[in-house]
Amino acid sequence: MIHDWEGMVFIPGVKLDQVLGVLQDYNKHSQYYAPDVERAKIESREGDHFRVYMRFRRKKIVTVVLNTEQDVTYFRDSAIREHSRSSAVRIREVANPGTKEEKEKSPEEENGFLWQMETWWRMEERDGGVYVQNEAVTLTRDIPAGLGWLIGPFVTSIPKETLEFTMNATREAVRAQGLR
């Protein structure tokens, strides 16, 4: 299944560089976006190009833990606009997370909760703050025939809930940074 969701928030009283400061501070994403982001770190950076590791945890009936590596590039469009593109280059489901038996599942063992992910951030500073838009496109396993009525709402609600959480967490992280 392909999921394509967009969300936007306005963060009053902040500057574009403050928003970028939060988005590019991947080493603190486990704080900004907890509990959805359990671990995060910059593996490499060359200017506006990042290679990032993130461990996602999502609980809704079942708990899914994913180790991901993402390739992220930021582009300055003008003095008041910036956008980025993030491509997941590696996604692995984790079996028995947090135990001695923890291991990454092979592609054949995975349940297909997330096969691919592309994310775009667009930011524009105006009207006394910054408009922040996020679009996330994900690919997941299809719903087995006959079970759509049972698990369809569950599968389709996760991307929407995750995007809503991400947008609100971004706004709160930027506000908190502005108070320091």
Q: What is residue 155's predicted lDDT score, i.e. its pLDDT?
A: 58
What CATH number is given for 2-178 in this structure?
Answer: 3.30.530.20
Q: Give pLDDT tens digits for 44-57.
A: 999 999 999 999 99
Cβ–Cβ < 8 Å for 11, 171:
yes
> Rounded to the nearest 10 degrees, how much is the dihedral formed by the CA atoms of 145, 148, 154, 160?
100
Rounded to whole angstroms, the Cα distance separating 94 from 53 reads 14
pLDDT at 81: 98
What element of type H or E holds 158? helix 148-178
Instruction: Please indicate whether residue 160 or residue 120 has the higher confidence score (pLDDT).
Output: 120
Name the DSSP letter for residue 26: G
Residues of the chain with pLDDT > 90, as a percent, come to 68
Return the H-helix or E-strand segment holding 166.
helix 148-178
Domain boundaries in the chain?
A: 2-178
